[in-house]
Amino acid sequence: MFLSAFGAATLLPIPSEPLFIGLLLAEAAPVVAIVLVASIGNTMGAMVNWWLGMQVDRFQGRRWFPATRAQLERARGWYRRWGRWSLLLSWAPIIGDPLTVIGGVMRERFWVFLLLVGAAKTARYVSLALITLGVA
């Protein structure tokens, strides 16, 4: 579960939900343990994205780098407008992973990043567990 959640939080297209739900339904471990492992893995994957964002000046301009200078400036403007609270959307599909990279590009303090992203990703897995188990 850890590796699946970790990979899902990076820019790689790896979903963690099928394994997460499967483990819950199979009662493979206590629900709290599954949620905790998934949350830690997903948060640590986002930390990799933050680090990559912190390194943007080093990588920018290389042929394989996925963003142009203009795209980075747009992302910076968006982050300046919405601020660190946008990291609470780090759980969301499609936009969540790029947001964690932008947090690094904008030099968000690590502990602020960790607190906001960790809370968002944990809330996502708690919600998914409650829905899966019919508690919600």
The candidate with the shortest Cα–Cα distance to 126, out of 6, 7, 34, is 34
Range of the domain at 14: 2-132
Asked if 35 and 122 count as a contact pair (C-beta separation under 8 A), the reply is yes
Place 50 in a pLDDT band, splitting at 50, 70 and 90: very high
- Whole-model pTM: value is 0.89
Place 136 in a pLDDT band, splitting at 50, 70 and 90: low
Q: How many structural domains comprise the chain?
A: 1
The string over 48-66, giving b where at least 16 C-beta atoms fall within 10 Å of a residue's C-beta and e elsewhere, is bbbebbbebeeeeeeeeee
